[in-house]
Chain A
Amino acid sequence: MLHGRSGEILSVDTIKTDIVIVGGGGAGLRAAIAAAEKDPGQGVALVSKVYPMRSHTVAAEGGAAAVTQPHDDLEYHFNDTVAGGDWLCEQDVVEYFVAHAHEELVQMEHWGCPWNRRDDGHINVRAFGGMKIERTWFAADKTGFHMLHTLFQTSIKYPSIRRFDEYFCADIVVDEGRAQGVVVIEIATGKVCFIQAKAVILATGGAGRVFRENTNGGIVTGDGMALAFRRGVALRDMEFMQYHPTCMPGTGLLFTEACRGEGGYLLNKDGYRFLQDYGLGPPSPEPRNKFMELGPRDRVSQAIWHEKQKGRTIDNPHGQVVHLDMRHLGEKKLRERLPQIYEMAEEYMGIDPAHEPIPVLPGVHYTMGGIETDGRTATNLPGLYAVGECASVGIHGANRLGSNSLVELCVFGKVAGEEATQFAKTTRNSSTSTLERQASDIGNRVRCLVDNATGKERIAVIRSEMGKSMEDGCGIYRTESGLRATCDKLAELKQRYRSINIEDKSSAWNTEWLLAIELGYLLEVAEAIANSALNRRESRGSHQRLEGLEQRDDQNYLKHTLARYAGEGPPKIEYSPVKITKLEPGIRAYGEAGEKAEAERKMKKEAAHGK
């Protein structure tokens, strides 16, 4: 039962609804619930290429940040986020974000999320990197897992949410300048369907799989980013890829930052807490917010890179590593607060973290950039919204603080659901036959990918060459020649991609076909990352250039990068201004230097207010 063989006209099944959401992770589920609550009478289609509880939100470990304690303040969370993002955040959006974080986490609590508690029954919070006050809500070290299952199970309450589990999104249908639905493949049968809708929300997650060593699940392939990009929506700030400092050598699996929040140390081969040599000291035995191991991820990963250059790292079959030492925390605390980490160390590495340090190295973890949206999650293509890791709503800037993204998917997932509802009410679809014709063309094109893929290139080979090249050229530190080599390599791989071979010609569960489509998405996003990085001739946050470009250059680069689709060639790079409201760009420092910088900022502010 093959569909759309060459020469045939492919008929598509059409499903009509009001809103279609692509992606069943945290952001997509939160948006679906918001849309269902806003207008219980409208239809909400939730499309996901995996069952929602498999989505990669499941792997988030550490927690979700919201101002919670009496001595904390929204302004502190704002300042931490903006300075942590090296001033590339949209400050009005960050203001909205920090102001709505707490109520969204309370909402998660009301829906049943099993947050850790204090003895008096109130929410407990833990310390996290780059955060001035402890404000990270957590559910052991499986916060993303619990949030995802809570959202998924809660979504079952709403009859208007119709799930399309294991449907793969192949394209967005655009007519009369508006997004009007999506073309999807029912994975179990290979059948192509058109879901017609008045508004489309992309919530497809990040693109970490463009890199070789990464913490991400196999599904994190930048699907929504590539689809929006090909439809003319800009990808913003793609050069900012987050390296998480503590990952398992070889597989890249994540050891949460909460390991350090709970008091773990990072040691070099001499057993020395080396972060004190990189502006994060002085060290203290107990964790101190914004000092040492509680520095932000970009700085900690960069410090590990420098240790490697100095020959102070430890040899491991999978590369140069440092040690994550949690022995002093004791087995009881580790089992209670970090059970999954304990299990991973024991089962995957044969290490008992209560008695041995864990070898770790940095791995790609999070895509700070994404589909450009305004502060209400709307893209510049009417009817198209984007939310979560696939989007760039503007809160992460050049470096995301750990525990801001799980809150982002709640705060902006709700916004996306409500905004899309509003939009759907005020618009009408083009004629169904027009849209179906387009959907049918798209269906033919994706199906032809299988039939025509009889070349010699192996999907896996192109994918691994891409991952290696991204790591070589777009890693923690970047050089002009390295970046150019990666851009050239990606152009070459895109050419070779045209000659791939898909052995499986079947329709049902043809996962090789899906891998091929995903590889196309990955290459698109990889090019946006590499070219954005090549053009940013300064160092900021997670984007670090060598060769005289080691400093931040606000004069020329206090602006967002916009990568625009340009057909076959590399993307066109443009820039847009950054919204500054309350916090003027200043020195970004941590440890003792950070305290000094903060005191100076405060003095300046007070002086400006004439105090």
Chain B
Amino acid sequence: MENNDKTIEIEVLRYRPEEDEKPFLQSFKVPFTDDMSVLQGVQYIKDYLDGSVSFRWSCRMAICGSCGMMINGVPKLSCKTFLREYYPGKITLEALKHFPIEKDLIIDLSDFIGKLESIKPYIVPSAPRALEEGEYLQTPRQLDRIAQFSSCINCMLCYSACPQYGLKPEYLGPGAIALLHRYNEDNRDSAKAGRMQLLNAQEGVWDCTLVGYCSEVCPKDVDPAAAINRNKVNSAMDYFLRCITPRGGN
């Protein structure tokens, strides 16, 4: 914290469930240097200004997915957003939109965890293989089909960006659909038929209204919108094939 010649105003949307009727904004003046992230700014607040301000964080390098928050109305990872980008203006931090607030910047993400668990996010092999038989073969091209969609860090920014999820929390949502797509596209997996039923439901892909903001805010270029769009085609095909063959298109 040397050479703090600049200070920036950070407003934090506070909500303490044991004392507050509703959330309110609290303002802090934070000394900063140009290499400081928004996360470091809010850590400064907790360490030196108000120990009760609460938020999740851990890795500081945009891989653990903990520190998402609304930064001036945009869902971002606070560890890779920098204070200098907002200076001399002020920064307003709020809990990620569309989620219940547990405290301050901490959201309740149990709804997403439930969805994640519902999509069978694991390999269901068609012919189980013994360890002694070694690895399944997967060419670089086959890996490419899943690489991007397996990069989701579950940070919830896409859910916060999705207007449809805001209106209708039953919607499976971008992150879970991208992950579902990742397993469906894996050449080692055979559980596509079951997962397609989740997608075919109204709360599956069809709730999506093609806004595409989910992909815009994704910090890892997963592009969940692409997964959703591909699965609208897949879902239509699946529906069609189910009509003409008893076991569907798989």
| Residues in A lying within 8 Å of B, measured CB to CB | 1, 50-51, 53-56, 58-59, 103, 106-107, 109-112, 114-123, 140, 142, 145-146, 149, 153-154, 156-157, 165, 188, 217-219, 250-251, 253-254, 317, 340, 343-344, 347-348, 458-460, 501-504, 506-512
Interface centre among A116, A153, A250, A503 (most CB of B within 10 A): A153
List the A residue with the shortest CB-CB distance to B134: A106
* B5 contacts A by Cβ under 8 Å: no
* B126 contacts A by Cβ under 8 Å: no
A509 and B150: CB pair below 8 A?
no
Interface size in chain B (residues, C-beta < 8 A): 61
Residues of chain A within 8 A of B131, CB atoms compared: 103, 106-107, 110
Contacts A54-B58, A110-B131, A348-B35 aside, 12 further interface pairs with beta carbons under 8 A come to: A54-B65, A58-B63, A110-B188, A154-B122, A154-B123, A218-B57, A218-B58, A251-B60, A344-B62, A460-B46, A506-B19, A512-B54
B140 and A117: CB pair below 8 A?
yes
- Bound-state Cα–Cα, A253 to B60, Å: 8
Residues of chain A within 8 A of B59, CB atoms compared: 54, 56, 58-59, 217-218
B150 and A149: CB pair below 8 A?
yes
* B103 contacts A by Cβ under 8 Å: yes
B51 and A145: CB pair below 8 A?
no
List the A residue with the shortest CB-CB distance to B187: A121
- Bound-state Cα–Cα, A501 to B48, Å: 12
Nearest chain B CB to A37 CB, angstrom units? 13
- Bound-state Cα–Cα, A154 to B58, Å: 23
- Bound-state Cα–Cα, A149 to B152, Å: 9
- Bound-state Cα–Cα, A214 to B108, Å: 30
* B163 contacts A by Cβ under 8 Å: no
Residues of chain B within 8 A of A58, CB atoms compared: 59, 63-65, 153
List the B residue with the shortest CB-CB distance to A503: B51
* B80 contacts A by Cβ under 8 Å: yes
A250 and B35: CB pair below 8 A?
yes
Nearest chain B CB to A78 CB, angstrom units? 21
Residues of chain B within 8 A of A1, CB atoms compared: 18
B64 and A460: CB pair below 8 A?
no
- Bound-state Cα–Cα, A119 to B138, Å: 9
Residues of chain B within 8 A of A503, CB atoms compared: 50-52
Nearest chain A CB to B75 CB, angstrom units? 17
Which residue of the partner chain, among B54, B56, B61, B66, contacts A254 with CB atoms under 8 Å? Answer: B61
Q: A54-B58, A56-B59, A110-B129 are in contact. Are A509 and B103 (CB under 8 A)?
A: yes
A selection of 24 A-B contacts at a CB cut-off of 8 Å is: A54-B65, A59-B61, A106-B131, A109-B135, A110-B125, A110-B129, A110-B135, A120-B137, A140-B147, A142-B63, A146-B150, A154-B122, A156-B121, A156-B122, A165-B113, A217-B60, A218-B58, A348-B61, A348-B80, A459-B47, A504-B51, A508-B103, A509-B106, A512-B52
Q: A56-B58, A217-B59, A504-B52 are in contact. Are A121 and B183 (CB under 8 A)?
A: no
Which residue of the partner chain, among A344, A506, A512, contacts B16 with CB atoms under 8 Å? Answer: A506
Q: Render B178-190 as a binary contact track against A, CB cut-off 8 A, 1 for contact.
A: 0100010010110
A111 and B123: CB pair below 8 A?
yes
Nearest chain B CB to A57 CB, angstrom units? 10
- Bound-state Cα–Cα, A250 to B134, Å: 43
Residues of chain A within 8 A of B55, CB atoms compared: 511
* B154 contacts A by Cβ under 8 Å: yes
Which residue of the partner chain, among A142, A157, A317, A512, contacts B46 with CB atoms under 8 Å? Answer: A512
- Bound-state Cα–Cα, A122 to B143, Å: 11
* B117 contacts A by Cβ under 8 Å: yes
Residues of chain A within 8 A of B54, CB atoms compared: 504, 509-512
- Bound-state Cα–Cα, A107 to B132, Å: 10
> What 3 pairs across the A-B complex have the smallest Cβ distances?
A121-B137, A460-B47, A504-B52
- Bound-state Cα–Cα, A111 to B129, Å: 11
- Bound-state Cα–Cα, A156 to B116, Å: 9
B64 and A112: CB pair below 8 A?
no
Residues of chain B within 8 A of A340, CB atoms compared: 63
List the B residue with the shortest CB-CB distance to A114: B150
- Bound-state Cα–Cα, A253 to B66, Å: 16
* B226 contacts A by Cβ under 8 Å: no
Nearest chain B CB to A309 CB, angstrom units? 23
Residues of chain B within 8 A of A59, CB atoms compared: 59, 61, 63-64
